[in-house]
Structure 1
Amino acid sequence: MNTESEQPEARGPEDGADEPVGGAPEDEIRAETVRRLERSMGTLGTAAVARMEERLSWFRRMSAQDRSWIGLVAQSGVAAFVDWFRDPSRGRPAITVEVFGTAPRELTRSVSLQQTVDMIRVVIEVVEGQVDDLAAPGGAQQLREAMLRYTREVAFSSAKVYARAAEARGAWDARLEALIVDALLHGDREDGLQTWGSALGWSHTPVIAMAGDIGDEDGNKVLDDLRAAARRLGHDVLAGLQGRRVVMVVGVGDRYPAEDLPAAAAEPLAGLFGPGAVVVGPAVADLRSAGASVSAAVNGLRSAVAWPDAPRPVLADDLLPERALEGDVEARRQLVEEVYLPLRGAGSPLLDTLSVYLEHASSLEATARMLFVHPNTVRYRLSRIAELTGHPPSDGRGSFVLRVAVALGRLSETRNE
């Protein structure tokens, strides 16, 4: 016979007296909870959507179609939970397929990750508020633990969905950027460029192009660094890798005075390219016109080796003589129109004085003797040449530009160009 000390102590609810003992009772409680959940699925989904409309202002501002998709996701989430709760031995629930697979992929653009977290929180609150009614007697703790595990999986799956969407979006953006840069380089001026740019959120003008090499750096890293730096400066940016060459198109907005473009916009970005020249094309009005800037920058990069002491970055217009010698037709045209024709239009004394001055090693006295004029007259004519062309004949670089321009101008006249 059992003594008083041997008899088991009575346990109250706080000691777990209402917890099932053994496997069968627990299975029966789970089955009854499942039946209750199945009867309440529609009500829970509707209540979750109603709570979202009440609590989430951004949800109320969404289109009816997007709200209906979100409601379907909420209903699918509840149904998937019930199905998984029925047989937890299946392991981790397939949240991505069973829940998020019901919504179109475009929904990830309408709803941010933070908003998705807010939705999940609302749904959890709705279900948790009804646990005592939904769970079979003695099954409340079992249901809460299952909900905790399930919502954790939902959170992980949400992050995975958005990470994949961001990765796909990033890969698509990179391919589209490379396509636009390639189209600009080949002179494409179709309206499709504006459409593609809009797809990437392009909005800033004017536009400049930059070209440089990546050196020994990883090309994708250089592109990522350039994009990040340009966006921190508030620019729109497209960048493409062509072999070891990086071509970058930048929408700079109105933060720089027109007279400072494009050098001021390019200066903070030049250090992110690899070693060697970094060439900046002229500023143009919009993305559709950016082909001229891209072409100038790329042709300038190709010919920059002929000017080892060029500044970094260097303007493509400052490389006109090198580009012309390399065969750049646009550079030849610019030199003739911007340098030779103004000199010829100003009268023969300026052009003759320049020719003699360049042929006599930039000597004032020798030039004056050859032209039978006073050295001060030569000085005056040289200053007029600098005013007309922007290139001082007495400067080493200026004299080189002028010499090439005059030679090209005379050649063009013999060909009646």
Structure 2
Amino acid sequence: MNYQPTKAFAQQMDQQDKLSEFRDEFHIPLSNGKPSIYFCGNSLGAQPKSVETEIALQMENWRKLGVDGHFYGDTPWYSFHDKMAEKAAPVVGAKPHEVAIMNTLTVNLHLMMVTFYQPRPGKHKIMMEAGAFPSDQYAVESQVKFHGYDPEESIIELSPRDGEKLLRTEDIIEAINTHKDELALIMMGGINYYTGQVYDMAAIAEVGHKAGIYVGFDLAHIAGNVPVKLHDWDVDFAVWCTYKYMNSSPGGISGAFIHERFANNPDLPRFAGWWGHDKEERFLMEKGFKPVYGAEGWQLSNYPILLMAAHWASLQIFDKAGIDNLRAKSIEMTNYLEFLVNKINTEVKTDISIITPTDVNQRGCQLSLVFGQHGRKVFEMISEAGVICDWREPDVIRIAPVPLYNTFSEVLEFSEILKASLLKLEEALSAEVN
């Protein structure tokens, strides 16, 4: 497409946007008393207006029905998960019985590793990307220690080549093949939170399975962002949060995927709970755990209904919008953002590096921008001007235009704010020198 840095072009793109109506379904956070340019869905999604209605409905059920709300009313809590899984499954390319909406992200990661990390002498190592989100690092480290191994010896971290910011798929595959005899698990993020790089999960799962290794992914930055096909890619397990691109409340409910080949295997090691027990016998209150078929067999407790209600509000929006439609718009928005940033690079002295891949198949909504030694100051300046994004140490500003509620006009306005801030910064630095 022939992108243009003009208001007329951005407005035309917004007018042609088939998803533009969904912006009205969200509350856009304020900055300086007016709607912000909210490019922070990679950290916390904007609030769907329907969340208030959905939570109010469950508050009313609780008020009117009390404990009977588990089995009566329009949305019985006992079966609330079923419709959640039906709408969540398409977002992650799964079958409904492969999905469980439960707990929080790191809790689910630990539960999955109880099952899929079974180290033994000579085959006790976990492979992950270097610089993974700290929660993943801590979870993996603690699991290794729990089994009596030394993280320094049992965790293999994959780093980019010298002078590069991104992991090459061929290097990941080579590392798996090199260490295949000592690996017990491959556990990576689907997207690197810092660079915004999407990893080739299908290729990683394929080579891992050829070597007889379990393969799982943390989809915190992918769910609701980039379409995935967990079932078709033969991934063993995955976990994700729902408060980023899925807009389901701060610290909201999480999701887990377990491939259906494990659906009816009661001999798999797992931490069991009442809500994962056979539904037909659950209320017999007897000893002897019998897991529910599918991912539900990994559930522990009955659902936090108010968090589920918030997630249900968002899932209905995703069902109407369609993850593939959202992806198509996202590609156009990040391409436009990339075009505008590259244009700024020709107009200011400060060099902006986009460390996120230029290949749209290797990135989602997020572009990670680096400004050298003045990055933190640039972040503060654009924040003061009404842009809500985030800073990640040591030198990245993450910009994430979300197709559900952001516009092309906002992308253009952001670029204008960024350029004005850089010019102002250059003027201030020049004055200091003189």
Q: Same fold (TM over 0.5)?
A: no
Q: Greater helix percent: which structure?
A: 1
Higher relative CO (CA 8 A, sep ≥ 6), structure 1 or 2?
2
TM-score by length of 1: 0.21
TM value normalised by structure 2: 0.20
Q: Which has the higher strand share?
A: 2
Q: Which has the larger radius of gyration?
A: 1
